[in-house]
């Protein structure tokens, strides 16, 4: 575990940054990632010229993966570090209320906390061939905590949210688009061009127009409250401490959780196998 940068910021212009997430070997979300995100949001909020940020991944197979579970409770000694359970809701609230527009460009797997991070972004565009979304928690005796249920309930409606949350399976970009939890599925070969053009377009508009637009949409469409997010995070913590969840976690670890290989690549299918045992 090092403190090297997991977020590589590419400043395309004063108004448009790309943030490239890179955390080998599995692009897991970990406390060091969270610390860097907290530093980033601080910078974003202070910058008066920035208008749009695009989150993408250096790993073609994983946009962003689940928690690095073993280190989940670590609070490292570095700028921005904070307890995930208590402070993730605050980060989501800041990102969704920021005057800067955030876009997740999803190629590869967005799983559990990684899916929830994508949902916390203002907009999502995904590769038709290479994006996969899953809230795997229910397959491991747990329950999603980081905001997934909040955003999916609003974007996909009750019945599809139940399918995603309780089924813990993979959903590709076409279904994600039909279910309404991404803006659009795009052919992989067009994804980069499309998102880049869209970001540059936004970057060329007046910041006060973008900010007013986002504020009013937030007011009308609603965003999950910090209290709702906080509550879900604590239900996750409570469910995770159950013997059943501990047992399921052991089985998943034995099956290959946390190691680059078949289990991590095909966890949607593999959780079905485990369930049938």
Instruction: Map the footprint of a second copy across residues 161-200, applying CB under 8 A.
Output: 161-163, 165-169, 175, 177-178, 180, 182-184, 197-198, 200
Q: Closer to a second copy by CB, 61 or 174: give it.
A: 174
Whether residue 8 has a cis bond before it, omega within 30° of 0:
no
Contact 163, 155 (CB under 8 A): no
Contact 257, 22 (CB under 8 A): no
- The rounded distance, in Å, linking the Cα atoms of 149 and 128 is 23
Element housing 17 (H / E):
strand 16-21
Contact 103, 53 (CB under 8 A): yes
Q: How far is the CB of 274 from a second copy (least distance, A)?
A: 8
Q: Closer to a second copy by CB, 35 or 126: give it.
A: 126
Stretch in the footprint of a second copy (CB under 8 A) among 6-14, 26-34, 57-65, 214-222: 214-222
- The total of other beta-carbon atoms located within 10 Å of residue 26's CB is 22
E strands in 84-122: 101-111
Q: How far is the CB of 91 from a second copy (least distance, A)?
A: 18
Secondary structure of residue 41 in the 3-state scheme? helix
Q: How far is the CB of 35 from a second copy (least distance, A)?
A: 27
Q: Which residue has the tokens 């969270």?
A: 34
Give the binding-site size for a second copy (rule: CB under 8 A): 72
Query: Is residue 227 at the binding interface for a second copy, with CB under 8 A as the rule?
Result: no
Footprint on residues 36-95 left by a second copy (CB under 8 A): none
CA distances from 153 to 35, 92, 113 (A): 28, 16, 16
Q: How far is the CB of 253 from a second copy (least distance, A)?
A: 16
Q: Closer to a second copy by CB, 152 or 257: give it.
A: 152
Element housing 225 (H / E):
none
Which one of residues 218, 227, 250, 261 is an interface residue with a second copy (CB under 8 A)? 218
Q: Closer to a second copy by CB, 74 or 154: give it.
A: 154
Footprint on residues 117-136 left by a second copy (CB under 8 A): 122-124
Stretch in the footprint of a second copy (CB under 8 A) among 109-117, 223-231, 250-258, 259-267: 223-231
Q: How far is the CB of 136 from a second copy (least distance, A)?
A: 11
Q: How far is the CB of 185 from a second copy (least distance, A)?
A: 10
User: 18 phi and psi, to 5 degrees?
Assistant: -110, 140
User: Terminal CA-to-CA distance of the chain, rounded, Å?
Assistant: 34
Stretch in the footprint of a second copy (CB under 8 A) among 27-35, 84-92, 217-225, 255-263: 217-225
């Amino acid at each position: 575990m090092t403190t090297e940068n997991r977020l590589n910021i590419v400043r395309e212009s004063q108004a448009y940054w790309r943030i490239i997430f890179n955390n080998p070997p599995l692009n897991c979300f970990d406390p060091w990632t969270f610390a860097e995100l907290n530093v980033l949001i601080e910078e974003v909020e202070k910058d008066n010229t920035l208008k749009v940020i695009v989150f993408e991944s250096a790993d073609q197979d994983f946009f962003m993966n689940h928690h690095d579970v073993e280190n989940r409770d670590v609070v490292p000694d570095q700028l921005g570090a904070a307890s995930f359970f208590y402070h993730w809701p605050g980060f989501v609230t800041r990102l969704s209320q920021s005057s800067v527009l955030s876009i997740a460009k999803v190629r590869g797997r967005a799983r559990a906390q990684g899916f929830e991070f994508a949902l916390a972004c203002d907009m999502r565009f995904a590769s038709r061939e290479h994006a996969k979304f899953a809230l795997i928690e229910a397959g491991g005796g747990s329950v999603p905590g980081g905001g997934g249920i909040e955003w999916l309930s609003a974007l996909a409606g009750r019945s599809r949210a139940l399918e995603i949350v309780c089924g813990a399976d993979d959903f590709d970009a076409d279904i994600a688009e039909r279910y309404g939890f991404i803006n659009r599925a795009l052919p992989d070969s067009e994804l980069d061009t499309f998102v880049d053009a869209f970001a540059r377009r936004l970057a060329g508009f007046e910041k006060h127009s973008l900010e007013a637009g986002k504020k009013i949409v937030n007011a009308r469409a609603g965003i999950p409250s910090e209290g709702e997010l906080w509550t879900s995070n604590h239900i996750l913590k409570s469910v995770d401490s159950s013997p059943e969840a501990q047992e399921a976690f052991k089985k998943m670890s034995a099956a290959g959780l946390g190691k680059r290989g078949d289990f991590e690549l095909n966890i949607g299918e593999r959780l079905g196998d485990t369930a049938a045992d």
